[in-house]
Structure 1
């Protein structure tokens, strides 16, 4: 009788808002162990400061406490100009402990409402730039308090997720409290009223970059009064009166770039803006269905103007911004970054366009509209790959997320578009993503690992990832103390462990131990990382040699712990599948007996056969089936109530194969047969 070994591919899950509270962060797995003794105290101060600059704020603060000299160096103001709080929860207590270091803090990135509430406790009065995501729960009170404490603020960005609880009152507070504001980008506002925009125009004379993205309503007339604006984006905003826009906005005296992507703008409005605005140089109108359906619209008649749309060559259009187009190759963005002599005005436009393109392509990938296959293969993928090489970290992250998203065509079944995935591979995307994954910036690590994980569903891409050293990189990232990084790395190992080609390499790279450690590290409250780790271990356990590695690394105990204690159905299903695969090698190793003898294992599996989730019941029944091949387990299954549970499951199941598996488990010993007869089972 064949034992049951099943393999699954990791599903692309939705991003998690919850953040880990573990106080340690590290990427120890990225560097090989060294046996050489190093006298760290003898390093020059400049070298120590350079090393500190490559650490996140928690590691930096922790390392500073090791000795008096490093404590002094760790307080150097140059190390605390920028602060990224996204990796971990930052509550007011943590912010207070960092306050003494943040006197000269100028830039901060945060994630979620709790971290937003903590910002004011940093007492960083000289803060110039604030950027936040996962902002759905941020309230008017929090945002108003932040801007009131930071009068020197020049840049405020909240998004790309929607600011659902932020109203016009908070935006007025921004206008009144931040007279030096230059850049304001907010996503998902319900209403940007005339009073709000007029307040910004009156009190923020230096406001040159405005973005009201994916908003429900923006007052078009009032925006025509913001004469200081150079760059304006209303991408994804609905209920726009384009007739009003075309008659007013072309009068804005300094308007250089306008983004109306993902809107229903009409060709007549585009034509009027391009022809009548003397200052406008770039109009971005990507994924605008009404414009794209007009086959008569021509962009060639607007000399000196650039229209970026899905129906024209974006790279060729970008090249037209430069005086000498002969120096611009196919990859215009890369050529521009490598120019020795640069034009300040062109640089300003290109930096804005990088941000706009990364945002628009990500949003387009998320909505996955029909009919864009040719665009993605010809232009979309190359643009995203080029944006991953941007000098703007936020653009790099968003481009990597875009790559992770645009290849997925079915979240539920973890299906990807093979053509898109292989297009990324052909254009050198795997090496670019792996380089980002090796970055010391954890935001880049997690987004690059996510893209690698999704792309690796394709067998050819998975092979390329392995050949480029991706397995070692992912195994290293799986050891990270940053849960977001470890979670995406575990997802990559899950997908790479499908089939037999890469299992040995994962084990050799220390991936098995890293995955088991993940389960112990985040044993509760982190269903994403636990499901990925258990899923990868389940695939690895299907291999005889790797199954021994799983057992030796403590995998049996870890998986049983999940089966007993975790309440998330996805985690339960993968844990049961992993135990089933471990128990499937009874003829060649001792794992079957080891699972059966693990305290609480059989009781947990019996309990899972009563789950409301079909997948959990199926995997638990399969595990009991495999375990029943061992003489020592049969009696224990009966004692644990397995007979009754399997009979109930047997009667409830509608799948013949599952029915037969339950029968086999029941009939492996005489006691089970005797007990099952009282339930009038018929086969």
Structure 2
């Protein structure tokens, strides 16, 4: 099976657009699997003449429209699997789902996140035309016709996790009658004890009911009364996630700490059980990602007692998308204050103790750009903790991040630069970043992505500012063209965060003016001093004033600063 990953790329392939698709189309006649990460790529995909396409999966779904999805469906009637998420499909409606049902009768798997409303007509069209439909996920929706869900008679695996406004009395009545349903995910909903009891007692073939983070149910139930129901497994936070999964296996799994890893290593596995555990990994990764993003205070204990261990296990999954969501969840759950870049050290060190750094670095080495960017983001956030930063550096992480910073994929480069930013805080790591080629990579990023990329530029300039505080590194920054790059940003960039870091970087580069030529070189850079003077009138006054102070120790700079109005400023 041929697999493409389409990413947001830089020069010379600046974006995946219709022109690029037209050039690729003659080589894609036999393409069967397509995975894209680029926002804005969907309109281009409608031109892809891949008549044999069986599977399409996209992570950035906000731009997918009804028209685009309908055309994709009409041109690829062999489709068997469609997955759009975890980003919300804000512009997809029931009309596109109906078109998918009419055009793709071979459909076996359909997962969509954030479709606002899924009406009965759309669900009934799937039931009528897609008789092989086996796995359905309508997650994070505002409204689903729960009665129509009862017509999906072929479905074995169903998730409505995160969906709001479901009428649970009706849902429990109709879903419990589905003849083929083996696994049901109702996590992160307002499901109540009565509905869950109905599912467990009345469903014909149900084996697994997943109900993670369901506050209404958890408030009503006594955990001791929900251990077992006719051999069915209830997965909740109350009884322990791994404990629930363990009950699916023979007795020799009872003492393992990671039951999912135990299953992966088991030989001669049962095919039906394999399907169930693969689905469990998938729904766990979705729910833990959303729970991590919401960062609820009342779940602090959960992350330390269960959540971190489950995420570590999901990082070992054989499913790339599960690994990717797990890495994103790690990046989210360790940060407890985005604005001040504050991490929960207990959570970060739980990942460290569980061999998570090695796992994430392995994912960062992947050839899949989605895995690279999410693993790099997790490493970056974890590295705010000094113990983790030391472990990352000691495990070869600096070289890996320096290489990723050279990526033509903007998302990968941005997260890698963020990792170098956090690692460069420690003096012990500055020289290693320079030796790994990180300084040149960071400078090159500024020239490559000089506009409309505030996150990437802030990471790159912040890292250069940290590195510029080291005398040897400051000289390397200058040699790599960093003075010109930073002056350009101070002069022309409109993002305040980038201006702040550029001014701080120039201040640090000029601080050792008595031992190198950086001070004079900055003064000779066209417009640099004038830009710093202007920044003294902005929110970045302190950084700009610090840079001007350091630069003023050079006689020529002092005169130029005065001429530019620096004395008055």
- Offset from partner CA, 1:488-536 (integer Å, 9 cap, x none): 1110010011132211211122211111111122222222211111000
1:339, distance to aligned residue in structure 2 (A): 1.4
Does residue 600 in structure 1 map to residue 521 in structure 2? no
Corresponding residue number in structure 1 for 2:549: 625
8 Å Cα contact 1:261-1:286 kept in structure 2:
yes
3-state DSSP of counterpart to 2:213: coil
Q: State the distance in 1 between where 2:432 and 2:453 align.
A: 27
8 Å Cα contact 2:8-2:38 kept in structure 1:
no
Corresponding residue number in structure 2 for 1:395: 322
1:629, distance to aligned residue in structure 2 (A): 2.2
8 Å Cα contact 1:183-1:210 kept in structure 2:
yes
3-state DSSP of counterpart to 1:372: helix
Corresponding residue number in structure 2 for 1:661: none
8 Å Cα contact 2:504-2:543 kept in structure 1:
yes
Task: Select the residue among 531, 551, 576 that pairs with 2:478.
Answer: 551
Does residue 106 in structure 1 map to residue 32 in structure 2? yes
Corresponding residue number in structure 2 for 1:85: 6
Corresponding residue number in structure 2 for 1:447: 374
Task: Select the residue among 452, 455, 458 that pairs with 1:528.
Answer: 455
1:295, distance to aligned residue in structure 2 (A): 4.6
8 Å Cα contact 2:407-2:413 kept in structure 1:
yes
8 Å Cα contact 1:180-1:204 kept in structure 2:
yes
Q: How does 1:420-569 map to 2 (within 5 A)?
A: 420-569=347-496
Structure 1 length normalisation: TM-score?
0.81
Q: State the distance in 2 between where 1:288 and 1:325 align.
A: 31
8 Å Cα contact 1:113-1:138 kept in structure 2:
no
Q: State the distance in 2 between where 1:469 and 1:608 align.
A: 38
- Offset from partner CA, 1:306-331 (integer Å, 9 cap, x none): 11111122112212212354487211
Task: Select the residue among 340, 343, 360 that pairs with 1:413.
Answer: 340
1:126, distance to aligned residue in structure 2 (A): 0.9
Q: How does 1:150-189 map to 2 (within 5 A)?
A: 150-189=76-115
Instruction: Tell me: CA distance 1:483–1:112, structure 2 relative to 1, closer, same or farther (3 Å).
Output: closer
3-state DSSP of counterpart to 2:298: coil
8 Å Cα contact 2:5-2:369 kept in structure 1:
no
Q: How does 1:630-641 map to 2 (within 5 A)?
A: 630-641=554-565
Does residue 313 in structure 1 map to residue 240 in structure 2? yes
1:610, distance to aligned residue in structure 2 (A): 2.9
Does residue 368 in structure 1 map to residue 289 in structure 2? no
Instruction: Tell me: CA distance 1:112–1:489, structure 2 relative to 1, closer, same or farther (3 Å).
Output: closer
8 Å Cα contact 1:319-1:328 kept in structure 2:
no
8 Å Cα contact 1:319-1:325 kept in structure 2:
no
Task: Select the residue among 140, 146, 161 that pairs with 2:72.
Answer: 146
1:560, distance to aligned residue in structure 2 (A): 0.6
8 Å Cα contact 2:8-2:16 kept in structure 1:
no
Task: Select the residue among 220, 236, 257 that pairs with 2:162.
Answer: 236
8 Å Cα contact 1:263-1:288 kept in structure 2:
yes
1:587, distance to aligned residue in structure 2 (A): 2.9
8 Å Cα contact 2:53-2:78 kept in structure 1:
yes
Corresponding residue number in structure 2 for 1:198: 124
Q: State the distance in 1 between where 2:331 and 2:545 align.
A: 34
Q: How does 1:114-125 map to 2 (within 5 A)?
A: 114-125=40-51
3-state DSSP of counterpart to 1:186: strand
8 Å Cα contact 1:539-1:578 kept in structure 2:
yes
436-445 or 400-409, which deviates more: 436-445
Corresponding residue number in structure 2 for 1:270: 196
1:113, distance to aligned residue in structure 2 (A): 5.7
Q: State the distance in 2 between where 1:291 and 1:125 align.
A: 46
Q: State the distance in 2 between where 1:122 and 1:200 align.
A: 25
Q: State the distance in 2 between where 1:86 and 1:255 align.
A: 36
Number of equivalences: 563
Corresponding residue number in structure 2 for 1:579: 506
- Offset from partner CA, 1:264-314 (integer Å, 9 cap, x none): 110111111011113111111111111122352422241411111111221
Corresponding residue number in structure 2 for 1:338: 265
Q: State the distance in 2 between where 1:335 and 1:180 align.
A: 34
Q: State the distance in 1 between where 2:179 and 2:8 align.
A: 42
1:565, distance to aligned residue in structure 2 (A): 1.9
1:100, distance to aligned residue in structure 2 (A): 1.3
Corresponding residue number in structure 1 for 2:12: none
Q: State the distance in 1 between where 2:408 and 2:345 align.
A: 33
108-117 or 540-549, which deviates more: 108-117
3-state DSSP of counterpart to 1:156: strand
8 Å Cα contact 2:6-2:38 kept in structure 1:
no
Q: State the distance in 1 between where 2:266 and 2:454 align.
A: 46
Instruction: Tell me: CA distance 1:184–1:328, structure 2 relative to 1, closer, same or farther (3 Å).
Output: farther
3-state DSSP of counterpart to 1:228: coil
Q: How does 1:217-232 map to 2 (within 5 A)?
A: 217-232=143-158
Q: State the distance in 1 between where 2:277 and 2:252 align.
A: 15
1:112, distance to aligned residue in structure 2 (A): 4.9
- Offset from partner CA, 1:95-130 (integer Å, 9 cap, x none): 111111111111111235631112232200111111
Q: State the distance in 2 between where 1:514 and 1:534 align.
A: 12
Structure 2 length normalisation: TM-score?
0.96
3-state DSSP of counterpart to 2:36: strand
Q: How does 1:347-362 map to 2 (within 5 A)?
A: 347-362=274-289
8 Å Cα contact 2:5-2:37 kept in structure 1:
no
Corresponding residue number in structure 1 for 2:226: 299
8 Å Cα contact 1:452-1:492 kept in structure 2:
yes
3-state DSSP of counterpart to 2:46: helix
Q: State the distance in 2 between where 1:333 and 1:196 align.
A: 35
Larger radius of gyration: 1
